[in-house]
């Protein structure tokens, strides 16, 4: 009997921290196994484990099933009733020899072909300290010592930064492990792999695995390329990426611009977000403090604007952040090195995002309250969108008294507006709905804010993520059929498990999406612990953590 349990989730394409159980053996994942003990049946089928791209004519027309494990390759037909807790990708190391784009195409093809979400993925004879993190990011959970043992035979000293001749580094003092102290290269290489996998496991459980990967992939060009190509495959990566994380978002490399969290945020700003109705927009610089409105500079901007325009903040890596969304993850939770210089990728990302925003929302006036370098980006966006802009910044300093006076004067006579942080802000961005909120009132101070309709509470605001929580059935009545999970004929006792789910809104993402659970015998509110795809394909695990249940 084998079983794979997902415990900690940290987004795609990497899996999670989990636990693989086979008989009496329990392996924390990602982890290293002895395949002869975990999968003994593998060794009774010589020459069966052919690499993923071998021609179909020399292999079985269906994937080979061993005890508790399924042999994965691109071609052939899936066997009926597959319920194995592990999938093996034989010859996985041969994929590294492909161009990175081909490698990622094969990886995605395998992942889409074997959709069960509660299976561990085993990459035999492939893991080295220099590539283990990337293999984990690609979705593999189980490894062995064969690749590092082969390096030992070749006299190679393995490190997370690459493999080097042991004769050259023997006395360099690069490592003080037990193997190095005893001049045992085999032990050193095995321990180096164990440390790297354990390090990756720790970063996953700390919810900062992507930041770790952006550092590690610099070991090899194919790893950098593969990460970037996976980032450019949103149909594969976005459905598995959590809406929020429990840790700040660190954008320390240019690759952070392409992270799924960033591209999804901007896409939702443009496609979902409904700005407060006004004819004027003011473009503002970001600040180190988050949310921006708490910073000294933005307090000055707000005093000058006095609710007479829609405020749009330009920043890297987020691109554009409407004032109404400044507290939402990741806009209110990121950190980036500030150098005062915009590189080409940052300029292009902001300009293209801003041009799309201008095209979507036809503003009569666009006021740029930005320094000269950032204003040049706005001019590029305006040219693309075919709109005119004006500037209120003097001497290249947006916070100077002269600049602030110019900003205030430029808005003289403009009608005041009251930004609708419920309808035009979080509600539209979060649930993709245009809801009449004229009878809703936001009450309370920061940290304890609620959305009320008369005396009835409709939503509360999660101050850690900036997202709305519909804790009551009344709140969900405003949202129609969005973000619904359909369950079978039962009353939930605790959380909802995946086997009890009949259907789910494809828009649901794990790690923060609020959902409404409904079935023949009960209704409930809660938070998605799985994305919609995983809910519908998993045979075990918590799908929704419930907050309130109502029978009938």
Torsion over CA of 224, 230, 232 and 236, rounded to 10 degrees?
A: -170
In this structure, of 49-53, 106-110, 263-267, 371-375, the range with the lowest mean pLDDT score is: 49-53
pTM exceeds cut of 0.85: yes
Render pLDDT for 20-30 as a digit per residue (tens, 0 to 9): 787 778 888 89
pLDDT value of position 115: 59
Residue 167 — pLDDT band, cuts 50, 70, 90?
very high
Whether residue 297 is predicted with pLDDT greater than 90 in this model: the reply is yes
Q: For 478-518, how does the pLDDT look when each residue is reduced to its tens digit (9 = 90+)?
A: 888 889 999 999 999 889 999 999 999 999 998 889 999 99
Q: Chain-wide mean pLDDT for the chain?
A: 86
- Residue 541: the pLDDT is 83
Q: Which of 520 and 246 is assigned the larger pLDDT?
A: 520
pLDDT band for position 397 (cuts 50, 70, 90):
very high
CA distance 324 to 312: 9
Cα–Cα dist 442/459, whole Å: 9
Identify the pLDDT of residue 49.
59
Q: Is 61 exposed, middle or buried (0-12, 13-18, 19+ CB in 10 A)?
A: exposed
Contacts 24+ apart (CB under 8 A), 388-396: 390/365, 390/366, 391/367, 392/282, 392/367, 392/368, 393/368, 393/369, 396/371, 396/372
- pLDDT for 318: 92
Lowest-pLDDT range of 19-28, 211-220, 338-347, 360-369: 19-28
Contact 93, 108 (CB under 8 A): no
Q: Name the percent of the chain lying above pLDDT 90.
A: 49
Q: How far apart are CA 351 and CA 376, in angstroms?
A: 9
The pLDDT value recorded for residue 512 is 80
pLDDT tens column, 459-485: 888 888 888 887 678 788 888 888 999
Q: Give all strands (DSSP E) within 319-411, no chain letters.
A: 319-322, 334-335, 365-368, 390-391
Q: What pLDDT is recorded for position 53?
A: 59
Q: Where are the alpha helices (DSSP H) in 206-362?
A: 209-216, 221-231, 234-237, 260-271, 296-305, 344-360
Distance CA 330, CA 482 (A): 23
The per-residue pLDDT for 12 is: 62
Residue 438: pLDDT band with limits 50, 70, 90: confident
**Which residues, 6+ apart, have CB-to-CB distance to 450 below 8 Å?**
442, 443, 444, 457, 459, 460, 461
- Quote the DSSP letter at residue 1: -
Say whether pLDDT at 65 is over 80.
no
Give dist(CA 309, CA 283) in Å, integer. 10
The per-residue pLDDT for 52 is 60
Verify cis geometry, omega within 30 degrees of 0, for the bond prior to 30. Answer: yes
| Per-residue pLDDT at 15 | 57
What is the model's pLDDT at position 80? Answer: 52
User: CB atoms < 10 A from the CB of 506, how many?
Assistant: 11
Domains of the chain: 2-236 (3.20.20.105), 249-410 (3.40.50.10630), 421-551 (2.30.130.10)
């Amino acid at each position: 009997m084998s079983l794979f349990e997902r415990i900690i989730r940290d987004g795609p394409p990497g899996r999670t921290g989990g636990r693989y159980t086979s008989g009496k053996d329990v392996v924390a994942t990602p982890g290293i196994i002895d395949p002869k003990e975990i999968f003994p049946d593998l060794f009774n089928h010589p020459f069966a484990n052919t690499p993923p791209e071998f021609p179909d004519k020399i292999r079985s027309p269906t994937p080979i099933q061993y005890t508790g494990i399924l042999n994965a390759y691109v071609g052939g037909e899936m066997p009926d009733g597959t319920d194995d807790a592990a999938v093996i990708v034989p010859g996985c190391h041969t994929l590294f020899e492909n161009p990175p784009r081909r490698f990622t195409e094969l990886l995605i093809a395998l992942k889409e072909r074997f959709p069960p979400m509660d299976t561990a993925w085993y990459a035999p004879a492939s893991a080295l300290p220099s590539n283990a993190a990337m293999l984990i990011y690609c979705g593999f959970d189980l490894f062995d010592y064969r690749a590092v043992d082969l390096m030992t035979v070749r006299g190679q000293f393995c490190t997370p930064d690459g493999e080097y001749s042991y004769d050259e580094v023997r006395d360099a003092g690069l490592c003080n492990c037990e193997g190095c102290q005893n001049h045992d290269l085999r032990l050193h290489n095995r321990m180096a792999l164990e440390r790297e996998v354990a390090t990756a496991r720790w970063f996953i459980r700390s919810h900062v695995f992507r930041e770790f990967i952006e550092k590690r992939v610099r070991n090899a060009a194919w790893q950098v390329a593969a990460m970037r190509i996976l980032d450019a495959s949103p149909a594969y990566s976005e459905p598995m990426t959590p809406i929020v994380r429990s840790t700040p978002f660190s954008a320390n490399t240019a690759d952070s611009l392409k992270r799924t969290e960033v591209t999804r945020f901007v896409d939702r700003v443009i496609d979902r977000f409904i700005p407060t109705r006004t004819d004027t927009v003011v473009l503002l610089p970001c600040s180190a403090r988050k949310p921006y409105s708490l910073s000294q500079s933005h307090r000055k901007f707000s005093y000058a604007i006095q609710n007479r325009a829609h405020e749009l903040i330009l920043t890297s890596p987020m691109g554009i952040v409407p004032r109404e969304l400044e507290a939402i993850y990741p806009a209110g939770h990121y950190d980036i090195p500030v150098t005062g210089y915009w590189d080409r990728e940052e300029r292009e990302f902001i300009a293209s995002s801003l041009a799309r925003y201008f095209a979507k929302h036809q503003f009569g006036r666009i006021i740029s309250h930005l320094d000269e370098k950032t204003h040049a980006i706005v001019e590029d966006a305006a040219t693309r969108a075919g709109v005119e802009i004006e500037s209120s910044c003097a001497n290249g300093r947006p916070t100077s008294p002269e600049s602030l006076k110019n900003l205030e004067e430029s808005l003289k006579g403009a009608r005041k507006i009251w930004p609708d942080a419920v309808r035009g802000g979080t509600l539209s961005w979060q649930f993709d709905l245009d809801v009449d909120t004229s009878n809703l009132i936001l009450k309370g101070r920061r940290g304890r804010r609620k959305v009320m309709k008369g005396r009835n509470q409709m939503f509360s605001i999660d101050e850690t993520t900036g997202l709305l929580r519909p804790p009551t059935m009344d709140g969900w009545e405003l949202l129609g059929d969005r973000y619904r999970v359909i369950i079978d004929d039962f009353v939930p006792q605790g959380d909802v498990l995946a086997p009890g789910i009949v259907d789910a809104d494809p828009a649901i993402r794990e790690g923060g999406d609020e959902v409404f659970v409904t079935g023949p015998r009960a209704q409930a509110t809660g938070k998605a612990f799985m994305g919609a795809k995983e809910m519908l394909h998993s045979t075990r695990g918590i799908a929704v953590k419930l907050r309130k249940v109502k029978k009938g």
